[in-house]
Chains A and B, each alone.
Chain A
Amino acid sequence: MSPLPQVLLDGLFTGGTYALMAAGMALILGVVKVINLSHGAFFTLGAYVAYALAERGVGHPIAAALLAAAIAFAFGVFVGKSFVNPVRSHPFALPVGTLACALLFEEAAQMVWGPHPLSIETGAPWIGPGGLVIRRWGVVAFLSSAALLAGLKGLLVARPGLPLRLIAEDEEIAGSLGMDVEAIRYLTFGGACAMAAAAGALLSTSGAVTPTMGRAPLILSLVVVIVAGMDSVGAIFLLSVALGIFGNGCAYFLSPQWAYVALLAGVSLLLAARPAGIVAIAGRRD
């Protein structure tokens, strides 16, 4: 069998992992309007929660994702309320502060679990038609990212999502209508952190669990959200999948070492052509 279908399928799954991380990042950037450099740390937290549960015999990814999301939500609300909201008006303080949070978490994880890589047993993949290998974690990433982004889209168009939309559009008007803008902001921050942790838990079986494992997903999720533009959840998903397939294709046909470079070069070109994101709505941004 030609390896091309396998490369494309794996690219689809890789794109699913990007989208899974980008979902939470889109929420933070779109509503709270801050660059959260601790997003990767919550991803790592989720993976360690999954590992801790697996060690105790609870290997179900959904259970791990739910517990990780709950812990990350609580922690995210704390960070959002005590740090993000007070310093939000200082544009340089926030990225530095959230980066400090991420590094602090890495150190804490190293102290608790050690610096060595940990691993959770991966289930055997499914074999599809023509011997196509369907990686379990890939299916989980693809489906859960689609579900998360669809849920996010549904929330934003439905009535309960009105405060989020309004705050994203104009905080002053939202405040003048009696909305508790501060509370909605830190709850949204917590929700986004929960999504990152759930992503970490769901993807924990695909590789090694280490204190610094959230760094690469952080960069890629930022890239996806900024390039897609925060206005379109669908575009985030499609761009993630496109980048996954593009990166895997480059690695297979060009060179594995150049895949990341090619991916970032492609992203830079897209940004140069559409600085406000590929699906930015005309007139909505300056």
Chain B
Amino acid sequence: MNVRFTTFLRPPLVLIGSAFIFLSFFLCVSLHDPALAVSHPDTLKIGVLAPLSGPYAAGGTSFVQAATLAVEQANAEGGVFGRRVAITVADTQGRVDVAKAEALRLVSREKVTALVGAYLSEETVAVMEVAAAQRTVLLVPVAATAEITDKVRQEYPRYRYVFRVGYSIPQWAELIAAFLSDRKIGRYGFVGAGIRWNRELGETLERIVAPRGIAPAYTAFYSPANPAFDPVTVAVAAASLDIVVLGDPGRNSVSFLKRLREVAPGLPVLSVGGALGDARLASSIPLSAPVYVQAASWKGVSPAATAYFERYENRYGAPPVGYSDTLPYDAVTVLVAAWRKAGSADSAAVVPVLEGGAFPGVAGTYRFDTAHQARWGTGPGALRGTFVRWERDGARIVFPPR
């Protein structure tokens, strides 16, 4: 094989250009991202695990933005026992192996005091192992799989550091069931990406709504890599449904809605949260029939929620989606409040405080059950969540009744 030395002396222009762009990007990010900013030795660091690249980057970015806002708020209130709070961000890329490695790096090398994350259920289950082994408090904002709280319940001494702020699958299903009952739905379709938590949600919802006389008339899961939207929309249109529950928080939910409206313009859709909560999309999505979006909270639900939504919009130029941002914001807020109550950031001191305390956040007041699951649902004292309906001029809160 002939390799000419001159080849190495004349690297392709595009590589030089690429390197320059990457370097510029890295420098820009370094200067603006609080995660990479130099922190003081007495700073309390929170490790935030979220996908900032790849297919889940949209959710991961709002996750980090909200966590940043929460930390800024904490510092504006004087920090924690006189110490500043900072976040150190790790990009999980939506991959289990990366999430686990990054969690370990955050704890062992970055010396973070607690972890918030990850994003996907699979990632979070892997991160739990690191939190358990390192005895580091982990607050889970959005991952919903039952495995997280099952592990806490079954192996409490090992996993007692893990608390889920977001709703679990049964709680999520209970909230949706209450909404479907309120709308007097009889037949619904459940459609979404064929991923783990989504299947769990579909099955659990079916079980929970059965006593209310509500039944699924069509269920389908499409491949997230190359979703076959059109045949699913044709089947949905033929199934005589009252509503479609769309279990997809990502970009595919937008594509599915557009395709569905072509064949079934009058069929209402309920998104379980995520991309369809983005106000930037509202002007381009077809609203020939109601488009409902489930969220942890929304502007107007409470003064705290309104303040958060306005602060987020002022800071980032677009309102939050009320799910993948609001829950991380509350996770950081709850953590900071627990540190303050405990008078220490040590895990051994913080865990009992989290177990027994009540912590106000944007979505309401968080209390954890014996499996370290925040109480969401329809019972007294539970966090209720919000359902909004998109109109051309914005979203209107439709449930729970205010």
Q: Which A residues lie at the B interface, using CB under 8 A?
A: 3, 6-7, 10-11, 13-14, 78-79, 82-83, 86-87, 97, 100-101, 104, 106-108, 110-111, 114-122, 124-125, 133, 135, 205-208, 210-213, 216, 219-220, 247-252, 255-257, 259-261, 263
Bits for B3-47, please: 1 = Cβ < 8 Å to A, else 0: 000010010111100100110010000000000000000000000
B228 touches A117 (CB 8 A): no
Set A114, A121, A260: member contacting B228, Cβ < 8 A: A260
CB-CB under 8 A for A10 and B223, given A83-B14, A107-B25, A207-B258: no
> In the complex, which residues of chain B have a beta carbon less than 8 angstroms from the beta carbon of A213?
251
Of all A-B residue pairs in the complex, the 6 with the closest CB atoms, nearest first, are A207-B255, A251-B228, A115-B57, A252-B231, A117-B251, A10-B230
25 contacts between A and B (CB under 8 A): A11-B230, A82-B12, A82-B14, A87-B12, A97-B12, A97-B14, A101-B18, A107-B25, A108-B21, A116-B58, A116-B318, A117-B58, A119-B285, A206-B259, A207-B229, A207-B252, A207-B259, A208-B275, A213-B251, A216-B225, A220-B226, A247-B228, A252-B231, A252-B234, A256-B232
Interface string of B38-81 (1 = CB under 8 A from A): 00000000000000111101101110000000000000000000
Q: Which residues of B contact A83 (CB under 8 A)?
A: 12-15
Chain B's interface size range is: 35 or more
Rounded to whole angstroms, the CA-CA distance of A78 and B231 in the bound complex is 40
B residues in contact with A82, CB < 8 Å: 12-14
Chain B at the A interface: SS class: helix
Is B284 interfacial (CB 8 A cutoff)? yes
Which residues of chain B from 241 to 256 have a CB within 8 Å of any chain A CB? 250-252, 254-255
Q: Tell me whether B234 and A116 are in contact (CB under 8 A).
A: no
Q: Which residue of A lies closest to B228 (CB)?
A: A251
Q: How far is the CB of A11 from chain B (nearest CB, A)?
A: 8
A101 in contact with B14 (CB, 8 Å): yes
Candidate in A11, A110, A257 with the most chain B CB atoms within 10 angstroms: A257
B238 interface hit (Cβ, 8 Å): yes
- Does B278 lie within 8 Å of A116, measured CB to CB? yes
- Given A116-B278, A212-B55, the answer on whether A248 and B230 have CB atoms closer than 8 Å is yes
Determine the residue in chain A with the shortest Cβ distance to B281. Answer: A119
The answer to whether A122 and B234 have CB atoms under 8 Å apart is: no
Q: Is the CB of B254 within 8 A of A107?
A: no
Q: Which residue of B lies closest to A138 (CB)?
A: B230
Residues of A within 8 A of B357 (CB): none
Nearest A residue (CB) for B55: A212
Residues of B within 8 A of A (CB): 7, 10, 12-15, 18, 21-22, 25, 52-55, 57-58, 60-62, 194, 220-223, 225-232, 234-235, 237-238, 250-252, 254-255, 258-259, 261-263, 265, 275, 278, 280-281, 283-286, 318
A207 to B251, CA, bound (A): 8
Output the least CB separation between A29 and chain B (Å): 20
In the complex, which residues of chain B have a beta carbon less than 8 angstroms from the beta carbon of A79? 14
Known: A121-B284, A257-B194. Contact between A252 and B61, CB under 8 A?
no
Bound complex: CA A39 to CA B225 (Å): 17
Asked whether, in the complex, the Cβ of A122 is within 8 Å of the Cβ of B18, the reply is no
- Nearest Cβ on chain B to A97's Cβ, whole angstroms: 8
Check A208/B262 contact, CB under 8 A, given A7-B234, A115-B57, A260-B225: no
- Contact at A116–B61, with CB atoms within 8 Å? yes
Residues of B within 8 A of A121 (CB): 283-284, 286
Q: How far is the CB of B102 from chain A (nearest CB, A)?
A: 18
Distance in angstroms from B231 CB to nearest chain A CB is 4
Report the minimal beta-carbon distance from A138 to chain B, rounded to whole angstroms.
8
Interface contact B284-A107, CB-CB below 8 Å: no
* A6-B222 CB under 8 A given contacts A117-B281, A212-B54: no
Hey, which chain B residues are within 8 Å of A207, CB to CB?
229, 251-252, 254-255, 258-259
Asked if residues B58 and A120 are in contact (CB atoms below 8 Å), the reply is: no
Minimum CB–CB distance for A243 against chain B, Å? 11
Q: Give the docked Cα–Cα distance between A73 and B193 (Å).
A: 35
Contact, CB under 8 Å: B235 / A3: yes
Residue of B nearest to A217 (CB): B226
CA distance A221 to B401 in the complex (A): 50
User: Which of A104, A118, A120, A261 has a CB less than 8 Å from the CB of B22?
Assistant: A104
Query: Which residue of the partner chain, among B18, B61, B231, B286, contacts A10 with CB atoms under 8 Å?
Result: B231
Cβ contact within 8 Å between B18 and A100: yes
- Asked if residues B251 and A208 are in contact (CB atoms below 8 Å), the reply is yes
Q: Which of B61, B262, B278 contacts A125 (CB 8 A)?
A: B262
- Residues of A within 8 Å of B7, CB to CB, are 86
Q: Of all chain B residues, which has the CB nearest A252?
A: B231
A256 touches B220 (CB 8 A): yes
Residue among B12, B58, B229, B280 making CB contact with A210, cutoff 8 Å:
B58
Complex Cα–Cα for A13 and B259 (A): 13
A280 CB to closest chain B CB (Å) equals 26
Contacts of A106 in B (CB 8 A): 53
Please state if B285 and A251 are interface contacts (CB–CB under 8 Å): no
Knowing A14-B230, A208-B251 are in contact, say whether A257-B258 is a contact too (CB < 8 A): no
Select from chain A the residue with minimum beta-carbon distance to B283: A121
Tell me the smallest distance from the CB of A244 to a CB of chain B, in Å. 9
- Known contacts A86-B12, A115-B58, A121-B284; is A10 also within 8 Å of B234 by CB? yes
